[in-house]
Amino acid sequence: MKIYLSKSAILLYINFLIGIIHCLHEFELFIFIPDSYYIFIPLSFLVTFTLWSMSINLKKPSGGRSDVWKKL
């Protein structure tokens, strides 16, 4: 259960929900955000995607880099 509530997972869930809202608005199936404020949806998608990718890339491997070079 711990892996489903990590910071990276929560950012991914938020990004997924923003993507669903964006798709529903683009196909005009569900419009609840006025067009004047709609620019925040794609921007928030990009921000959460950037934060998620940074949280994934900044995790250090358990062995560290030195273990790889010791095996060579």
DSSP for 4-37?
A: GGSHHHHHHHHHHHHHHHHHHHHTTS---S-GGG
- Cα torsion angle, 54, 58, 62, 64, sign: positive
pLDDT at 66: 53
pLDDT at 69: 52
Q: How confident is the model over 15-71, as pLDDT tens digits?
A: 999 999 999 988 988 888 888 888 999 999 999 999 998 888 877 666 555 555 555
> pTM score, two decimals?
0.72
